[in-house]
Amino acid sequence: MCGIAGLIYKGKSANVGAEMTAMLQALKHRGPDSTGYAVYGEGSDGNYVMRLKAAEAEDMHRGRGIYQILDERIAAVDAILAEHGADVKLKDRVTDYALRYVLSHDGDTGKMAEHIEEIDGVEILSLGNGLELIKDLGDASDVAGLYSLNDFSGTHGIGHTRMATESDVDIKSAHPYWAFPYNDVSVVHNGQITNYWLMRREMERKGHRFMSNCDSELLAVYTAHNLANGMTLEESLRRSIEEIDGVFTYLVATKDQLGMAKDTMAAKPLVLYESDDLIAMASEEVAIRAILPQEIDTYDPYDEEIRVWQA
């Protein structure tokens, strides 16, 4: 079933970490397997923030040897960063297997990301100036507590509670997906994509990589491909309605935008709230009410509806 949520403030920042946690916790019943956030801060002086995982959560239960493997993988990441001339300003080992780097880099971040992902077991969750992508097993309270998200200040964010139907219960199949290697673009999705393999093969032929067998990852790769080829976010969303088969509602966030698209059947839910300074959306109204307890006006977007909002 899965639950998705998004919020964006116009021209100001707020505690989007805590607000997204409240929304996703309200959607826990739609997906108890994993929870993910893509939240957008204000960046730090042009530096990049890179989030990665060096193992799956379940790998930590496979004996003490995993710690040595983790150390080797992280050392390999550091070596590649040094090789690419990245200046690491901050390195935070948030959990045993998840790390957050703040770094400055003048070169090709896409190339650097590709090299890092050549390390067996390492996956970059996000890389960008504003984006911080966090996902792990458990509900929103668990993940927010583990990654100290409840005081994250930013302009916008999207989130996801996952009920695994198409692929495994693990972090690599959890949402959101970073639109590798396109900085600051992330996707969450609720639905099933029925031409997944056809579209995936097409994307792979064009040189894109997939880290999971989750159909939602396709939307991230597809969006990255479109944006890299000069489309606006709105054009990419519009094109997806024509090219992607299935039932879906998905949200895309960029450094300063948040967009939504709904399939041709309007088979997957989304409730929208819009005010002068805040737009909030979720699979269920109960999530919006978690941050806006007062009486508000909300509505369901229709089939094939595309919307994009600016931070």
Partner 1 sequence: MAGVTDAQLKEMSQEERVKALGMTTEQLTGKSLYIEFDPDAEERFIYPWAPDVDFNKRTEIDTDEMSTTQVNTRISELMAEGFGTIVLKNPRGKHSIGVGILSKLNLIIEGSCGYFAVGLLDGPNVRINGRVGWSCGENMMSGTIMIEKNAGSTFGAALRGGDLVCRGSVGSRTGIDQKGGTIIVGGDTGALSGFMMQRGRIVVCGNAGKNLGDSMYDGTIFVGGDIQSLGVDAVEAELTDLDRAWLTRKLTQYDLMPGRGVDHFTKIVAGKQLWNYDNLEPNEKKLIL
The residue among 259 and 269 lying less far from partner 1, judged by its C-beta, is 269
What would the x/- binding string for partner 1 be over residues 10 to 49, using CB under 8 A?
----------------------------------------
Tokens encoding 194:
């029925």
Q: Is the CB of 102 or the CB of 267 nearer to partner 1? A: 267
- Is there a catalytic annotation at residue 2? yes
DSSP state of 107: S
φ, ψ for residue 98, nearest 5 deg? -115, 135
**Residue 31 beta carbon to partner 1: minimum distance, rounded to whole angstroms:** 15
Q: Is 297 in the site for partner 1 (CB under 8 A)?
A: yes
Q: Judged by CB under 8 A, does residue 288 bind partner 1?
A: yes
Q: Which residues contact 229 (CB under 8 A, 6 or more apart)?
A: none
Q: What number of chain residues touch partner 1 (CB under 8 A)? A: 20
Residue 223 beta carbon to partner 1: minimum distance, rounded to whole angstroms: 24
Decide whether 237 or 271 has the Cβ nearer to partner 1.
Answer: 271
Nearest to 27 by CA among 136, 146, 137, 161: 161
| Nearer to partner 1 among residue 119 and residue 271 (C-beta) | 271
Does position 207 bind partner 1 by CB under 8 A?
Answer: no
Helices (H), the chain: 16-26, 65-83, 109-116, 140-146, 196-205, 215-228, 233-243, 285-289
Residue 204 in the binding site for partner 1 (CB under 8 A): no
State the residues that interact with partner 1 by CB under 8 A: 265-267, 269, 271, 284-289, 293, 295-300, 302-303
Residues labelled as active-site residues = 2
